[in-house]
Structure 1
C-alpha cells in the first residue's frame, strides 16, 4: 500500500493522539505502579443533604492514621482510625457545608515517637481501636482519651498532610521507603525523598534479605517494609508491663542532641503492657515515671531507686516538655524519674503494687 494512504494516516494520527493523551496525564496516573492506591471510605448512611468527596492526602514520610469529624445526621461525630499510606489519599464522603475537623498521627512502628498533625479542638478517640464518638460525650466516662483536631475549611476538596520538607506525593513514597528502611535496621543516613544510589542499593538488599521479587514496587513493597519495621520495633525501646492491681500511666524522659525531653502519658491497664519508647535505648539516658490510678483520686507514684533521683517536668494531661529546669515557670510539675537500663537497645520494666507508694500532691493523673 502506498505511503501516506488514508489507512496509514489514520493509524499515525491515532498513535499521536494516544501519545498526546499519555503525556497529558497527571503525574499520579503515570506513576500508578509505584504509588499506593487511594482508599475510598463508603459513605456514612447518616449523611443527609448534599455531599462531596473529601480527599485526605498523605504527603509525609510516615504511615499515618487519621480521625475526622463532621456532621453525621444531626450531630457532630468523630470517626477513626483510617490508615493513609505515604503518597496516597483517603477519600471520605462529607456534607458539602458545615464544620469539618481532622487529626492525624504516625503509627507507632516508626522509631523516635509518634508525630501528630493537630489543632486546638479536643474530641474523643479510642487509642487502641476503631471508634465513633459524639462530640458532646465525656471522654473519661466513655473510657477514652482525646486528641486536638484541627479545623478544615468547609467544602475544601483536598487536605494535604505535609512535613517541613514538603515532599509532595511522589517524593513522599521514596521518603517513606527510606524511613521504613531505617526503622527496619538498614543504614539510611538521610530521608530526603530522592532515589539515590544508596537508597536503591538498600532496597535491593532488603528485597534479597526477605526473599522478595527484584521487581516488587508500590504498595506491596511498602507493606513488606512496614512488616519488617514492625518486627524490629518489637525488639527495641522500652516496654512497661503493668502487673499491679490498678491502671498505670507512664511517662518517659530521654536526652536528644544534649537536651532533655519528657513526655507522657501512656496507659497500661492491669495485666497489660505499653511501649512509651519505640527507639533504641542505647545512648538515650532514658528515665521513666509512673502513677498508679486510684478510684478515690489518691494516686500513687513510682518509687525511686536513687538517693537523689533525676527530676523532670510532667503535667496532669498529655504533655511534651523540653528541658528539665524551669518546670514550674512553664506551668509543669516536677517529679522524680527512675533510670532505665540502656546497655541494650530494648528493655522491659515490670511494675507491681510494691513499686508504688506515697500519694501525689493534688492527685496527678491524666
Structure 2
C-alpha cells in the first residue's frame, strides 16, 4: 500500500537551518523567521524534565516572522520541524533530525509527543538554540543553502509561486529583473491588482489563491472528492521524460503543477489518501487517476529524469495518463466514481 506520510516535509539540513546559540535561559517570546523561498508550516517541540510536547502548525511566509511561544519559556530543549505547502510539488526532500516526535496533519497540540496515537505520525525534529534579538524576542531562522537575506527570500518566494501559477519568472534566484517584472505585472493584471498589492501583507495569500484556482492556461488539477489527493506530473521534452511530485491538493481546491517551457507531452497521475496518508480504496481498488504510461515515482518528494527499470533502482512505477494540451489549457477534475 502506497504511503505519503513524509511527502510534504521540507528539507532543513543542519547547514541550512540557522542554529543560533544562546547561553541565556529562555525568558522571552520565541519567534521563528523564514529566510526560505517557500511558504512553510512549522511545528515546535518543547522538551522539559523528561516530558515532550509538540504544537503546530505555524505558517510563515518568506521573509516573515511569527511568534510561536509567548511569555517565559521553560524548556530543556527547543525543537523544530518544518514542511513546505503541498502545492510546491517537488520541494526539498525530507529533513533529518535526531529526535522523532509526533505530529498531526491539521493544527494540533500533543502533550505526550513521543508515543504516537491514532491520527498522529512520527516526524524528525531538529534541536535549535535561539538567540536574543534586538526586539527582545528569542529568534531562530529557517534558511536555504542559497543563504538569502530577507529581501532576497521574499522575491524568490514570489518568483517560485509565480512559476507554480503558470507565469515564467524563472530562474528562482531572489534577483529582480525584466523577466520577473513581466511575470509579476501579468499576474497583477490578471487579478485586477495594482502595483501596491505586492507590498501588502496578504500578497502571498493572493498568489496561493491563484495557484489553487482553475486556470485557462497550462495544466490544472481540481479535487472534487472529500479526500486529500497527492498528484505527480511528467513532461516529455523530446529528449527525456521527467516525472515530479508529490503535489498535495486539498478537497475543493485546484492546483497548477509547475510546468515550465513547452514540453511535447504532459502526463498526470493522482491518488486519494486518508488522514493517515494511506491510499484510499474504493471497491477494493486504490482510488487514483492515471493511465497506461508507466513512469517512475517514489514515496518521498521526487524529481526523476530517467525512466525505466524503476523497481531495480529502488523506485516505484505508476501509470500516468497523457494530457491533451492542444487547446492551450487543460483542467483535470478528480471526482468519486
TM superposition score normalised by structure 2: 0.64
1:239 Cα offset (Å): 3.4
- Deviation string 1:56-75 (CA, Å, 9 cap, x unpaired) is 22112222221111237863
Residue 128 of structure 2 corresponds to 153
Mapping 1:324-343, distance limit 5 Å: 324-332=307-315, 334-343=316-325
Kindly indicate whether residue 73 of structure 2 is the aligned counterpart of residue 90 of structure 1.
no
Structure 1 residues without counterparts, runs of 5 or longer: 1-48, 353-366
Q: List aligned pairs for 1:1-366, cutoff 5 A.
A: 51-71=27-47, 75-93=51-69, 95=73, 97-110=75-88, 112-115=89-92, 118-120=95-97, 121-127=99-105, 129-133=106-110, 134-139=112-117, 141=118, 143-146=119-122, 148-154=123-129, 157-200=138-181, 203=184, 210=191, 212=193, 214-215=195-196, 218=199, 220=200, 223-224=202-203, 226-235=205-214, 236-242=219-225, 250=230, 252=232, 254-255=234-235, 258-261=240-243, 263=245, 272=251, 278-279=257-258, 283=263, 285-288=266-269, 290=271, 293=280, 300-301=285-286, 309-313=292-296, 318=300, 320=302, 322=304, 323-332=306-315, 334-343=316-325, 344-352=329-337
Contact 2:246 / 2:301 at 8 angstroms: preserved in 1?
Answer: yes
Structure number, greater radius of gyration: 1
Aligned to 2:3: none
CA contact (8 A) 2:211 2:255 kept: no
The higher relative CO (CA closer than 8 Å, separation ≥ 6) is in: 2
Name which of structure 1's ranges 256-265 and 336-345 shifts more when overlaid on structure 2.
256-265
1:221-256 C-alpha deviation (Å, 9 max, x unpaired):
x5235314422432243335448xxx7875535248
SS of 1:66's equivalent?
A: strand
Residue 215 to residue 165, structure 1, CA distance change in 2 (3 Å):
same
Q: Is the 8 A contact 1:286 1:340 kept in 2?
A: yes
Distance in 2, matches of 1:215 and 1:58, equals 23
Q: Report the equivalent of 1:14.
A: none
Alpha-carbon distance in 1 for matches of 2:170, 2:247:
31
Aligned-partner SS, 2:145 = coil
Q: Deviations over 1:259-312 (max 9, x none)?
A: 5336459698xxx567686345974632326476469xx953468987xx3334
Q: Deviations over 1:296-354 (max 9, x none)?
A: xx953468987xx3334456x6553734444334444x4441415242343113342xx
Give me the whole-angstrom Cα distance separating, in 1, the residues matched to 2:267 and 2:197.
Answer: 39
Distance in 1 between the 2:268 and 2:336 partners? 14
CA–CA distance in structure 2, aligned partners of residues 328 and 288 of structure 1: 18
Give the corresponding residue for 1:45: none
Asked whether the 8 Å contact 1:71–1:95 carries over to 2, the reply is: no
Structure 2 match to 1:15: none
Across the two proteins, how many residue pairs are aligned to each other? 285
SS of the aligned residue for 1:171 comes to helix
Distance 1:266 1:210 in 2: 24
How large is the Cα RMSD of the aligned pairs? 4.2
In 2, are the aligned partners of 1:208 and 1:214 still within 8 Å (CA)? no
The answer to whether the 8 Å contact 1:87/1:172 transfers is: yes
What SS does structure 1 have at the residue aligned with 2:242? strand
Q: TM-score, normalised by structure 1?
A: 0.60
Contact kept? 2:295, 2:318, Cα under 8 Å: yes
Over 3 Å counting, the alpha-carbon distance change for 1:314 and 1:66 in structure 2 is same
Which structure dedicates a bigger proportion of its chain to helix?
1
CA separation of 1:187 and 1:124: change in aligned 2, threshold 3 A: same
